[in-house]
Amino acid sequence: MLNTLRHRLLARIEDRIGLATLAAAIVLFTAHGAFAHEYKAGDLEIAHPWVRMTPGGAKVGGGYVTIENHGTAPDRLVAVTSDVADHVEIHQMSEKDGVMTMRMIEGGVEVPANGKLALSPGGYHLMMIGLKQPLKQGERIKGTLTFEKAGTVAVEFAVEGMGGPKGQAPDSAMPGHDMHNMPSN
């Protein structure tokens, strides 16, 4: 009789551990899906839009995203908006004769057919101008990306630390995104 009680008790414990493990797995997989933020628009795949955290009082912030075009025709990122900035511009950093310059890109930037556009620190990027609040690490901010062919896509930008998303090398070229006093091309 004692062995039967032990067996039943162990069976109940195993059942509960199994349910707890299943519940934990569901939570983990659901949370992963909520944090992975990729978007599709036509032939375009938009991966991990993010912005750098900013100190209080900052009026500009930098935004980044990778857009992959799986189609046979190019598209063009022509506009970006965000609810935390007065306006958003597409900019490009470049180096000439040892001097870094940043300029606004008029008319948008091409996403090549069967290619990729990486808006990243030190190259093409988004400038969120007239920030209405500090961008705090861990938050998400709403925005839209407008493409010439694929149309408008609502996205959320993850606010990352100064080094960017995990696995990305820190960038010293744009630590505060306060380079609007740089020479223009």
Closest to 111 (Cα-Cα) out of 47, 66, 63: 66
Q: What is the pLDDT of residue 69?
A: 98
Q: So what's the pLDDT on residue 15?
A: 59
Under a CB-based contact definition with an 8 Å cutoff, are residues 6 and 127 in contact? no
Amino acid, single-letter form, for residue 138: G
Contact 82, 139 (CB under 8 A): no
- Please tell me whether residue 131 adopts helix, strand or coil conformation: strand
Question: What one-letter code names the amino acid at 136?
Answer: K
- Mean pLDDT, each 10-residue run in order, the chain (185 residues): 57 53 39 61 96 95 97 98 97 92 95 97 96 96 98 97 61 40 38
Name the 3-class secondary structure at 26. helix
State how far the alpha carbon of 185 is from the alpha carbons of 101, 121, 156, in Å: 7, 18, 31
pLDDT recorded at residue 171: 43
Give the number of other CB atoms < 10 A from CB of residue 43: 18
Please tell me the predicted confidence (pLDDT) of residue 162: 79
Q: What's the confidence (pLDDT) of residue 114?
A: 98
109 vs 92: CA distance, rounded Å: 10
Integer-rounded Cα Rg, in Å, for the chain is 23
Residues 6+ apart with CB under 8 A from 2: none
Only one residue has tokens 């997989």, namely 29
Confidence (pLDDT) at 60: 97
pLDDT at residue number 34: 41
Q: Token match 């933020």: residue?
A: 37
The token pair that represents 47 in the structure block: 């991966």
Contact call for residues 39 and 108 (beta carbons, < 8 A): no
Residue 20: per-residue pLDDT: 42
Q: What is the DSSP letter of 121?
A: T
